[in-house]
Amino acid sequence: MIDRFLEFVSAKRIQLVAEAYSNWLKPGAIVLDIGCGDGILTQALKEKFKLKVTGCDVKNYLIKDIPFVNINSDDLLPFPNNTFDCVFLNDVLHHIDSKKQLTLLKESARVSKKMILIFELKPTIGSYIGDIILNKITHPSIPLPLTLRRPDEWISIFDKLSLKVETKNIKKSYFSPNSQVAFTLMK
């Protein structure tokens, strides 16, 4: 029963993220997925857009077979400058505290040659409740500080990092309590 629920939720999430990123991803792009979690979304984006993907996270939650690097949440990303064409941050920023969000964004810009693609929750009651419930069902050990920010707050941070930003509001799914936004950050 939980597996079917997870498949349904993942399929809808994959569709939303793929649609948000469709204008930006090119076949053969070398991508880092920070906070890749179980790898379901990572694998789906890899296949759909024909990407070369590496996942990384603070713990190996993978159920998909993708290249993976374990990262220490307090350290810099273990990659040289400009290693990846693109960096993904899919529903990961709200899982870390606000000071570490800034560090992770700086590190994402450092390891990316061109862009960072972000898919993130908006701070709504539905997003808070939905994320807690979904994570407790699927991955109970994932931290849930729920450091959500409004899109204008994110844009202010991106501006301070001298990143050009394009925002895309995601149409809320009938079946999801979450409200999301996608950002494309260009160096």
Say if residues 45 and 51 touch (Cβ distance below 8 Å).
yes
> Two tokens at 102?
């800034």
**Separation between Cα atoms, residue 23 and residue 64, nearest integer Å:** 25
Per the structure, the complete domain to which residue 137 belongs is given by 2-186
Q: With beta carbons less than 8 A apart as the criterion, state whether 94 and 147 touch.
A: yes
Segment holding 68, helix H or strand E: strand 68-70
pLDDT of residue 57: 95
- Domain at 142, CATH number: 3.40.50.150
Mean residue pLDDT across the chain:
90
Report how many domains make up the chain.
Answer: 1
* pLDDT of residue 1 exceeding 60: no
Return all residues near 34 (Cβ < 8 A) that are at least 6 apart.
56, 57, 71, 77, 87, 88, 89, 92, 104, 108
**Each residue of 65-100: pLDDT tens digit?**
999 999 986 678 999 999 999 999 999 999 998 889
Q: pTM for the whole thing? A: 0.91
Amino acid (1-letter code) at residue 63: I
Q: Which pLDDT band, with edges at 50, 70 and 90, does 116 fall under?
A: very high
pLDDT tens-place string over residues 121-161: 998 888 778 777 877 777 777 777 789 999 999 999 999 99
